[in-house]
Amino acid sequence: MNAAVENPYWMPFTANRDFNKKPRVISGASGHWYTAQDGTKLYDTFSGLWTTGLGHCHPKIVEAVQKQVATLDYCITFQVTNDKALALAERVTGMAPDGISHCFFTNSGSESVDTALKIALGYHRARGEGNRTRLIGREKGYHGVNFGGMSVGGMVPNRKVFSAALLPGVDHLRHTLDIERNAFSRGLPEHGAELAEDLERLCLLHDGSNIAAVIVEPVVGSAGVVPPPVGYLERLREICDAHGILLIFDEVIAAFGRLGEPFGATRFGVTPDIITTAKGLTNGVIPMGAVLVKDEIYDAFMNGPAHMIELFHGYTYSGHPVAAAAGLATMDVYEEEGTFEQARGLEQHFEDLLHSFTDHDHVIDVRNFGLMGSIEMASRPGAPGQRGMEVHKRCFWDEHMVVRNGMDILQFSPFLNSDPDEMEQSFVKLRRVLDAVE
């Protein structure tokens, strides 16, 4: 099919009409490189979509998937399960902070978030605190596109059209992006821990006893990589404890090595009550997510007659055997190849490369933590997002790289096992593009 002529595929989060004028189509990948339909090799600066930290088509994961699909392709997931799902649950909870020893499988980050919110509400109700129904998110938060995640999320374009259908009883903390005070911070910004006090303010407004949960990304991803101010997450934890509110870390991006540790929680030394994951769980090879919960939460549901279902929630594909096999192989590779240490070892180089753009005329901020980074460009007057889109397209066509832009913010998610020289080359190419665009 010539997608430029008529493209029946309505693409997600895509400017479809613009795309269709000159489609960017990938048909293969290996390691750190994509292959476009015309055979051109393109360097992937985004590890898929924050997903594929080990590189594309890792032979061990490919082999595990091939084997599993020929052994047990699918298995009913309600009242019966499969060996791979059991093994993966054990493996993933084994990496989690102490006291988190159960996980619920989903198929995506959005499903993980909505599952986590439902678990939070169910937990309070099971303990006789059914009045705790309010959910608190944060401006600039991205928690996927389902109704729960969209409601607690704080990215305006994702909410605008659906505003009448958002969940009631949701409130938001202010975001922590403060370019005026924190521009060009390396790692965690110094200013802004006091913004955690917004939660105290909301507890005064709604009464803390009515709030079920607070959900935040430990490092904001999709809104343009915003690391938390020093001390911010610790303070959120304290306030949640003081009011009996569950703290949910949405680690769909952060979990499994992106921050050089199994979880953002372990990197920051702040343990939430629930952790949502997806992406790196299977290296992006098969869609899958997992929601990890503290033991008290799981235990609270385990009451009533033992033959009755405790949580009326689940997906046809929860714990899908092929996805779980991909997950197990992914965990094996992380361990065998020392991926998280490797990622940690790349952080300084990545930070230096990003911050080498500090002096560029278009650039108004550079932010990074772990292997998450962004370069924020000034928007063209009256045309927000246009410069970012042009950079994305020029990178693709002129420099043969896939670079992700969210409006005028360029986002980077290098492979956890990146070759430092390849990474450096990608930033040399990026500079050529930034120099060339107006």
Tell me whether residue 171 or residue 250 sits nearer to ligand PLP (CB atom): 250
CB of 159 to ligand PLP, least distance (A): 14
The Cα-based distances of 258 to 54, 122, 233, 356, 372 in angstroms read: 11, 31, 18, 21, 7
CB of 232 to ligand PLP, least distance (A): 17
Q: Two tokens at 306?
A: 């033992």
Residue holding tokens 């390691």?
31
Tell me whether residue 153 or residue 208 sits nearer to ligand PLP (CB atom): 153
Q: Two tokens at 435?
A: 């120099």
Strands 372-377 and 363-369: antiparallel
CB of 115 to ligand PLP, least distance (A): 11
Nearest to 220, CA basis, from 266, 185, 252, 184: 252
Nearest to 416, CA basis, from 223, 262, 288: 262
Residue 46 · residue 52 · CB < 8 Å? no
CB of 268 to ligand PLP, least distance (A): 15
Tell me whether residue 77 or residue 222 sits nearer to ligand PLP (CB atom): 222
Residues 222 and 302: their CA atoms lie apart, in Å, by: 36
CB of 291 to ligand PLP, least distance (A): 11
CB of 194 to ligand PLP, least distance (A): 24
**Closest residue to ligand PLP: CB criterion:** 109
CB of 6 to ligand PLP, least distance (A): 27
CB of 405 to ligand PLP, least distance (A): 15
The Cα-based distances of 367 to 190, 259, 278, 362, 418 in angstroms read: 12, 14, 23, 15, 19
Other C-beta atoms lying within 10 Å of the C-beta of residue 39:
8
Tell me whether residue 203 or residue 285 sits nearer to ligand PLP (CB atom): 285
CB of 406 to ligand PLP, least distance (A): 11
Tell me whether residue 251 or residue 347 sits nearer to ligand PLP (CB atom): 251
Tell me whether residue 253 or residue 323 sits nearer to ligand PLP (CB atom): 253
The Cα-based distances of 427 to 54, 136, 402 in angstroms read: 20, 38, 12
Other C-beta atoms lying within 10 Å of the C-beta of residue 80:
7
Tell me whether residue 46 or residue 427 sits nearer to ligand PLP (CB atom): 46
Residue 115 · residue 294 · CB < 8 Å? no
Give every CB contact of residue 164 below 8 A, 6+ residues apart in sequence. none
Tell me whether residue 208 or residue 287 sits nearer to ligand PLP (CB atom): 287
CB of 11 to ligand PLP, least distance (A): 14
Q: Two tokens at 92?
A: 């993933």
Tell me whether residue 147 or residue 184 sits nearer to ligand PLP (CB atom): 147
DSSP secondary structure, 63-119, as one string:
HHHHHHHTT-S----SS---HHHHHHHHHHHHHSPTTEEEEEEESSHHHHHHHHHHH
Tell me whether residue 35 or residue 158 sits nearer to ligand PLP (CB atom): 158
Give every CB contact of residue 37 below 8 A, 6+ residues apart in sequence. 25, 26, 27
- Burial of 322-343, coded b for 16+ CB within 10 Å and e otherwise, reads bbbbbbbbbbebbeeeebbebb
CB of 45 to ligand PLP, least distance (A): 16
Tell me whether residue 108 or residue 266 sits nearer to ligand PLP (CB atom): 108
Which parts of this chain interact with ligand PLP (CB under 6 A)? 108-110, 113, 142-144, 217, 221-222, 250, 252-253, 278
Detail the DSSP E strand segments found in 232-378. Answer: 246-250, 274-277, 289-294, 363-369, 372-377
